[in-house]
Amino acid sequence: MVGIFLEDFSYHSYSIYNMAVNNGPIEVNFDRLADEDKSTREHSVNHFKEICRMSAINHSIHRVENFPLPQLLHESIYADVLVIDKKETLTRFQQDVPSDFIRQLLINAECPVVVVPSNFDLIEKVLLLYDGEPSSVYAVKQFSYLFPNLKSLPTEVLSVKEENENLHLPDNRLMKEFMKRHYPDATYKVLTGDPEKEIVHYLKNRHQNELVILGAYRRNTVSRWFKTSMADELMQQLKTPLFIAHTK
């Protein structure tokens, strides 16, 4: 496991106001607040090291002091999977989920990304979102290769079709043969209607701690103006981790 600590020189916890309202010269307040941030960063690194040591996990520490997004994307070239908090902004300001930072990361990452809430329980079930597109099958493949230990969990394939279509999976025979090779005990559910609405509604009424697998975060620039990504909807509406992978 590699702990990547993004220490962008422009990213800090304090504002100009914080430096001005405290007693003493601004320069002194700046040094004190900067030292507090440095101490927080050191504590985070040491905390990560200790957790890895207690769990007997081989680990490395990468401390990135340049612009964070390009560096993180470069790290993703050599990563099997990247895990990040869905609320990350890399600023001290709150932003709607997903932030611009998370959007750009998901669009350009060179490996699958697991976007997680700040707190979640042990995964009890895996839900594979499938729409018949190659990217959704690719996401299932990548998840299968990276997390073979989770194949023992209950697994469900969820698809959504138009109201006037039959309730068979897209490429029904090929998809089910593929699933038998990777998840032989998987179950299947086909809904009808608008995918964004139906999937969110379906998952909101569940009570298990699920991991949702989906592909195709990328879209061309034009269509992204008119339709949000399924991943965006799920990050905004649900408290479940998402495994997101896309083909080039």
What pLDDT does residue 15 have? 47
Q: Give me the number of domains the chain comprises.
A: 2
Asked whether residue 58 falls in the same domain as residue 148, the answer is: no
What is the rounded distance in angstroms from the CA atom of residue 156 to the CA atom of residue 181?
15
Same domain for 241 and 174, yes or no, is yes
Residue-wise pLDDT tens digits, 105-141 = 998 999 999 999 988 889 999 999 999 988 899 999 9
Return the axis-axis angle of helices 230-237 and 195-204, rounded to nearest 10°: 30
Helix (H, G, I), strand (E, B) or coil at 47: helix
% of the chain residues with pLDDT over 70: 83
Q: Residue 19: its pLDDT value, please?
A: 47
Write out the residue range of the structural domain in which residue 31 sits. Answer: 1-66
| 188 located within any domain | yes
Tell whether 57 and 129 lie within a shared domain: no
Which of 19, 43, 66 terminates a domain? The answer is 66
pLDDT, one tens digit per residue, over 53-95 is 999 999 999 998 878 899 999 999 999 999 999 999 887 677 8
> What's the whole-model pTM score?
0.84
- Are 239 and 140 found together in one domain? yes
Confirm whether 226 is domain-assigned: yes
Q: What is the three-class DSSP state of 90?
A: coil
Whether 62 maps to a domain, the answer reads: yes
User: What residues contact residue 144 under an 8 Å CB cut-off, 6+ apart?
Assistant: 151, 182, 183
Q: What average pLDDT does the structure give for the chain?
A: 85
Q: Which of 2-16, 69-83, 163-177 has the lowest mean pLDDT?
A: 2-16
Confidence band for 220, pLDDT divided at 50, 70 and 90: low
Q: Cis omega (within 30 of 0) on the bond before 98?
A: yes
**Considering the domain boundaries, does residue 108 fall inside one?**
no
**Three-state DSSP class for residue 231:** helix
Under 8 Å between Cβ of 110 and 77: yes
- 171 CB-contact burial (10 Å; exposed 0-12 / middle 13-18 / buried 19+): middle
**Per-residue pLDDT at 191 exceeds 70:** yes
164 and 55 in a common domain: no
Nearest to 134 by CA among 245, 231, 233: 245
**Of 23, 38, 66, at which residue does a domain stop?**
66
